[in-house]
Homo-oligomer: A and B are copies of this chain.
């Protein structure tokens, strides 16, 4: 093992211990060093390739967990929950729980970019997951400590009525992908056939209408609109680009 800094391996061992893993586990230490090296420090040897693999690893962890814990959940809900679990926001929160930023080698210039902190943390977190995956080629070094975080969040999304809502899910998604919140336009309908049509809400993002829904209250109309928008967003068949 040829790590750049004399203290680096001790540092990395500390992180591995924080994850509840043994330093005797088959950790590819050189890759772990790379996983915690930001592109500002080295344009060639940094976490980018590992992040690419880690993005698939974290998606698999979330999918397998949801399939095990909620085997009868409709796939639309699965996709909605997974999209929150693998969002930059969630991953950065978990990385932060383990104080991962203190192990990340990064140039001072990037450190001053506070806005990029969340995606930086999420990126290196994914790279760390790739490293642990590549140590064993399965999820045995990952699920023991990551599952509890995902389980708790999935349970919160499903159980807590205040969180089990598409407005919150849509907001998470637009913030993590576009750094902005969706806008709602609501109108009260005069001629209605039933109470569910009292209000019509539209949800907009960047000048584009994402969905529309009706309800007996403003809040429920907004939820209905957000559900249409969110489920169409998470259906990967519909994903395409918005030019920035």
Contacts and interface: CB of A to CB of B under 8 A. Distances in A.
Interface of A: 48-53, 55-57, 59-60, 62-64, 66-67, 71, 73, 75, 78-79, 82, 119, 130, 134, 137-139, 177-178, 205, 208-210, 229, 232-233, 236-244
A180 to B, nearest CB: 11
14 contacts: A49-B67, A49-B73, A51-B75, A52-B63, A52-B66, A53-B64, A119-B237, A177-B237, A210-B243, A232-B243, A238-B242, A238-B244, A239-B241, A242-B242
A115 to B, nearest CB: 14
A241 B230 CA distance: 10
Nearest to A138: B138
Q: What is the total number of copies of this protein in its complex?
A: 2
A237 B56 CA distance: 15
Contacts of A55: 63, 236
Contacts of A137: 64, 138-139
A53 B63 contact: yes
